[in-house]
A and B are shown apart, each in its own frame.
Chain A
Amino acid sequence: MKAPFLPLRPSDLGLRPSFGLRTSGFGLPLLALLLALFARPGSISAVSPQAEFESGLAACRIGDYVRAAHAFRESVTLEPASGALQDLGNAEWRCGRAGAAILAWEQARWLDPFNPSPRQNLSFARKTAQLEAPDLTWYEVVSTWLPASWWAWIAGTSLWLAVGMVLLPGVLRLRKATWQQAVAALGLMVFLLSIPAHFGVQTRARIGFVLQKDTPLRLTPTLEAQAITRLAAGDPARWVRPSGGYVLIRTSRALGWVEQEQFGTACPRTGKKAG
């Protein structure tokens, strides 16, 4: 015997049992709140990253690099992309902002290390501006072989693949096969090999670059602090810790404080998406 449907009663919250198609005065704001909570900002924005990117390309073609840099920055703010970051670096370099250009190219490398153009541009810029490249440790060099996000997924997938290959045959009452053991060993090996790269990603995320020319490296995080030295735009340093509006950085020569606006990391640490 087929069970009858339960009669639907009006909801106490105002949403009538019409699956949201007919809403009461309270239901409409609730629906808007849910949309605001779960909808992505880019999906409802009038400007898209692709449109901003093409606007930047058009500005570059007519030589308006200031406007191009602005458009590329808007594009990568909406959605970071390696090509847009590369073009942002080119536009910033044409505008004479070496620090911002180097940061953009480093971010492009961070996102897509397979793209040779940012690496070539970084070599060119550092040779031209007589800047030094970041001094990377061996595990940080290994971490540059693949995109940073890949290492995370490789480590997780390989670990759980190895665990699954060991555990599942017993659970599923399958006979343990050689290939299962081989896959487990391979997964464990990949996991162990990816650990240094994983660690390298963590430490490389602290590498940043001076954005402004003649940035004073202060002895203390205060406005009136004594300047230890002055850093050139694009000089690399490692983020140690923030304090107020300043950040303690370690360069190849000294340890000191700079203003946070004068220092940018390839992997943003202040909640900014890009740029």
Chain B
Amino acid sequence: MPTLACDMPLLTELEKVAVGRVDYKHAAPHGAVRCEWAHEILHPALRPVDPILLAPFLIVFLSLAAATTLCAQAPTQAPRDPFMSLMMAQPKIEIPLVTKATTAFDPPVVRPGELSFFRVVFDALEESIEWPTNLAGPPQLEMRPGAHGQMLQMNLTNLEPQTAFNYRVRASSLGSFTIPDFVVRVNGKAVTVPSARLDVVSEPPASVLPAERVTLELPLTNLFAGQPVTARILLPGTPAGAVQGLGAPQLCGSGILVDLGGARQRIEMRPRGAALGPTFIYETTVTPVATGKLMVYAQGFTAGNRFFTPSAIPVGPARCTLLESDPLELDVRPLPTEGQLPGFTGAIGSLTVGPPKLATNVLRVGDPVKLTVTITNRGDAPLARLVAPPPPQAQDWHVFAPSDITPTQPLAPPRPVVRFSPDGRSVVTSTAQAESLVGVVTFTYTLIPLTEDTRDTPPIPFSCFDPKACAYVDLTIPSVPVTVQPGAVPADPSSLVQASSAGVAPEKELALSGLSASRGRTAASLVSPQQRPWFPLVQLAPGVAFLGLWGWDRRRRHLEAHPDIVLRRRARRELSRQRRVLRRAARTADAPRFATAAVNAMRVACAPHYPAEPRALVGGDVLPLLPETERSGRSGQAVRRFFALTDAARFGTGASATAELLALRPDLERVLEELEQKL
């Protein structure tokens, strides 16, 4: 895996430029930051290029190089990028072709219930190891995952990676237990991790030393969120007086923030039993950023530097072992919201504000002046990452946010004080501090007087939270008396300041919103309607309706222009109705009704041809519509007969012989068919 790692702080800046994203993984001593990245996420301009594609550029480059050699004057050499020079000067990381894995129990012989560390060490980068989530072992062994980390060890000219995985193992019964060998994939290749054996006996031999461990010291475990606390990782030296440095020390746990910039390390004589012994101390600042119960433990490699007291003799090569401490539980409470004072920027501790210092007390309107404020921490907690109080909005002053901030200046660590008993032996060792001064930070504000009427600088609200008193403390920076003289500039400086600050809106601090108490706007689905199959149909429905309306309107206008169509249609409809009536009357032998229906049928069939009201037509109006040959034939006679008998029955006084009309039904049907065809 083309992964690169380095311990140089300057390279991290270069990496930010090249990669655009930096993942801070480990903390290194002296504030150095190790970062890693894979070449896949490199900026496109920095990705490796196919050699074939480079060939044309190489030819052009060689041609240009040959041409430049022909010049009489040698070209000036471009200055080398110092970052690149620094990076090139770093030793290479040598990754072996065949990865080796070693396992061991520390100590290999324990009593039942006694802790032993099962360590697996690879000579490979941690990122390349696909470590299994569950490690199987004998059921008598209780195995819990411990620390894991990576260390780069110097080997002559190159750096060799070493990655270790720790497991905390406790045996419940006597016996000899073996964790069988298993396979782990490293760089995509299978690597066999050898087996390891742990002997559990009632009395281990005296030659077996207990496991080497580091100790994590925290002065407080009941903290408030955001309250910094000094954490110390202690690595005691050997009884012979040799003490090792701790490589890649880390504080592990969720919900904590470790200040790498303020990390310090030293060797101190600390009591070990009745005597004093050298102890390596790595000190840094931890800030809990989450509330609740937080577990923290320390880890680090024993490697590299070895320091010896004058009485100690170095024995054997330096070992590189991943050590870890027992976990500590932090009880973190949130800061109280009640009683919060103006100007609170998250400062927690026992802080005091020194008298503000103004560069000069005699000013002119529009001239900037520096106001220096010193904040001193007199508590037992470090002054870490103090945020300056925001500039106030004053009528007569324009105050700029402090741009010149002197970082926290931690004082020298407390020196050990050794007291001696009358017989000359050291009996007590303690850390004494004349004054618990932990840090000082200085803010410098820039103020511009806007009027000559002002007599003092505006007070700057500031407050902190005192964890001992569990209350907020007012630390408002007081006013400083000044004398403001008229400015040399005729223009009104307040308008200039307002114009410059008008377009700058105060940046709103981002935070996670609260829970919504209601479900809010609902929908049947998150899929938008335009992506549903029914949506085009719904959209086409109005179109179809409008199309129907348009067609209906066209039809209506057409019928209005041709009213005979309507008359003929009505005539056909009425003719059909009358034919049904006369057929029914014929079936029931109802001659009067049959005659009336027949006459009505002939009338409605002839009316559109004149046009005329059907009731106004007589038999003479029907005959011209018959074919010439039938006017005097049977059809014509039937027409005359129907009209004559119907008129006689309607207007005559005597009884008419309409019964004989039933016999004329075939002739009548033929007449009606003729008339219907003409409609």
- Taking Cβ atoms with an 8 Å cutoff, the residues of A that contact B are 49-50, 53, 57, 60, 75, 79-84, 86-87, 90, 93, 107-108, 110-112, 115, 117-118, 120-121, 123-125, 127, 130, 147-149, 151-153, 156, 160, 163-164, 167-168, 170-171, 198, 201-202, 205, 227-230, 253, 266-268, 273-274
Q: A148-B528, A152-B528, A153-B529 are in contact. Are A170 and B553 (CB under 8 A)?
A: yes
A112 to B513, CA, bound (A): 16
Q: Is the CB of B526 within 8 A of A110?
A: yes
A31 to B478, CA, bound (A): 84
Q: Is the CB of A111 within 8 A of B526?
A: yes
Q: Is the CB of A160 within 8 A of B542?
A: yes
A171 to B520, CA, bound (A): 44
For residue B155, CB closer than 8 A to chain A, the reply is no
Q: Point out the residue from B517, B520, B531 that lies within 8 Å of A81, measured CB to CB.
A: B520
- Min CB–CB distance A110 → chain B (angstroms): 7
Chain A proximity mask over B516-535: 1 for CB below 8 Å, otherwise 0: 11111111111111110001
Further 15 A-B residue pairs, CB within 8 A, beyond A80-B524, A115-B521? A79-B523, A80-B526, A83-B516, A87-B516, A117-B514, A120-B513, A152-B530, A152-B535, A171-B553, A201-B530, A202-B530, A230-B41, A267-B528, A268-B525, A273-B525
Q: Is the CB of B512 within 8 A of A123?
A: no
Q: Is the interface of A mostly helix, strand, loop or mixed?
A: helix
Closest to B542 in A: A160
- Min CB–CB distance B658 → chain A (angstroms): 26
Chain B residue numbers with a CB within 8 Å of A108 are: 520
A121 to B516, CA, bound (A): 12
For residue B549, CB closer than 8 A to chain A, the reply is yes
Closest to A108 in B: B520
A83 to B550, CA, bound (A): 46
Q: Is the CB of A205 within 8 A of B516?
A: no
12 A–B pairs (Cβ distance < 8 Å), ordered by A: A81-B521, A83-B520, A84-B519, A149-B523, A149-B529, A156-B539, A160-B546, A163-B543, A171-B553, A198-B530, A227-B40, A267-B527
For residue B88, CB closer than 8 A to chain A, the reply is no
Candidate in A49, A60, A86, A151 with the most chain B CB atoms within 10 angstroms: A86
Chain A residue numbers with a CB within 8 Å of B559 are: none
Tell me how many residues of B have a C-beta within 8 Å of chain A.
37
Q: Point out the residue from B511, B513, B520, B531 that lies within 8 Å of A84, measured CB to CB.
A: B520
Closest to B523 in A: A80
Q: Point out the residue from B514, B522, B526, B531 that lies within 8 Å of A107, measured CB to CB.
A: B526
- Min CB–CB distance A2 → chain B (angstroms): 20
Q: Is the CB of B510 within 8 A of A124?
A: yes
- Min CB–CB distance A13 → chain B (angstroms): 29
- Min CB–CB distance B594 → chain A (angstroms): 22
Chain B residue numbers with a CB within 8 Å of A112 are: 520-521
Q: Is the CB of B519 within 8 A of A75?
A: yes
- Min CB–CB distance B174 → chain A (angstroms): 41
For residue B209, CB closer than 8 A to chain A, the reply is no
A33 to B436, CA, bound (A): 82
Q: Point out the residue from B44, B522, B543, B550 that lies within 8 Å of A79, measured CB to CB.
A: B522
A266 to B511, CA, bound (A): 23
For residue B515, CB closer than 8 A to chain A, the reply is yes
Chain A proximity mask over B359-376: 1 for CB below 8 Å, otherwise 0: 000000000000000000
Q: Is the CB of A120 within 8 A of B515?
A: no
A153 to B670, CA, bound (A): 62
Q: Is the CB of B38 within 8 A of A230?
A: yes
Chain A residue numbers with a CB within 8 Å of B521 are: 81-83, 111-112, 115, 147
Q: A121-B512, A171-B549 are in contact. Are A205 and B519 (CB under 8 A)?
A: no
Q: Point out the residue from A110, A120, A167, A229 that lies within 8 Å of B41, measured CB to CB.
A: A229
Q: Point out the residue from A57, A75, A121 that lies within 8 Å of B513, measured CB to CB.
A: A121
For residue B21, CB closer than 8 A to chain A, the reply is yes
Closest to A115 in B: B520
A275 to B528, CA, bound (A): 15
Chain A residue numbers with a CB within 8 Å of B522 are: 49, 79-82
Chain B residue numbers with a CB within 8 Å of A267 are: 526-528, 531
Chain B residue numbers with a CB within 8 Å of A227 are: 40
5 nearest CB pairs, A to B: A83-B520, A83-B516, A81-B519, A82-B520, A117-B513
A60 to B535, CA, bound (A): 39
Q: A50-B519, A229-B41 are in contact. Are A120 and B510 (CB under 8 A)?
A: yes
Q: Is the CB of A273 within 8 A of B516?
A: no
Q: Is the CB of A268 within 8 A of B526?
A: yes
Chain B residue numbers with a CB within 8 Å of A81 are: 519-523
- Min CB–CB distance A207 → chain B (angstroms): 13
Q: Is the CB of A80 within 8 A of B525?
A: yes
Q: Is the CB of A86 within 8 A of B516?
A: yes
Closest to A101 in B: B512
Chain B residue numbers with a CB within 8 Å of A82 are: 516, 519-522
Chain B residue numbers with a CB within 8 Å of A168 are: 549
Chain A residue numbers with a CB within 8 Å of B44 are: 253
Chain B residue numbers with a CB within 8 Å of A163 are: 542-543, 546
Chain A residue numbers with a CB within 8 Å of B546 are: 160, 163-164, 167
Chain B residue numbers with a CB within 8 Å of A167 are: 546, 549-550
Candidate in A75, A93, A201 with the most chain B CB atoms within 10 angstroms: A201
Chain B residue numbers with a CB within 8 Å of A115 are: 520-521
Q: A149-B529, A201-B530, A266-B526 are in contact. Are A93 and B520 (CB under 8 A)?
A: no
Q: A60-B515, A84-B520, A86-B520 are in contact. Are A268 and B529 (CB under 8 A)?
A: no
Q: Is the CB of A117 within 8 A of B516?
A: yes
Q: Is the CB of B535 within 8 A of A83?
A: no
Chain A residue numbers with a CB within 8 Å of B512 are: 90, 93, 121, 124-125
A108 to B518, CA, bound (A): 13
A266 to B525, CA, bound (A): 11
A93 to B513, CA, bound (A): 11
A21 to B517, CA, bound (A): 44
A-contacting residues, B180-231, CB 8 Å: none
Q: Point out the residue from A118, A160, A171, A266 that lies within 8 Å of B543, measured CB to CB.
A: A160
Q: Point out the residue from A130, A198, A228 that lies within 8 Å of B21, measured CB to CB.
A: A130
A118 to B530, CA, bound (A): 24
- Min CB–CB distance A159 → chain B (angstroms): 8
Candidate in B516, B522, B543 with the most chain A CB atoms within 10 angstroms: B516
Q: Is the CB of A205 within 8 A of B38?
A: no
Closest to A232 in B: B21
Chain A residue numbers with a CB within 8 Å of B21 are: 130
Q: Is the CB of A124 within 8 A of B511?
A: yes
A130 to B41, CA, bound (A): 15
Closest to A85 in B: B520
Q: Is the CB of B528 within 8 A of A90?
A: no
A-contacting residues, B307-345, CB 8 Å: none
Chain B residue numbers with a CB within 8 Å of A201 are: 528, 530
Chain B residue numbers with a CB within 8 Å of A83 are: 516-521
A-contacting residues, B525-573, CB 8 Å: 525-531, 535, 538-539, 542-543, 546, 549-550, 552-553
A-contacting residues, B26-58, CB 8 Å: 38, 40-41, 44
Chain B residue numbers with a CB within 8 Å of A125 are: 512
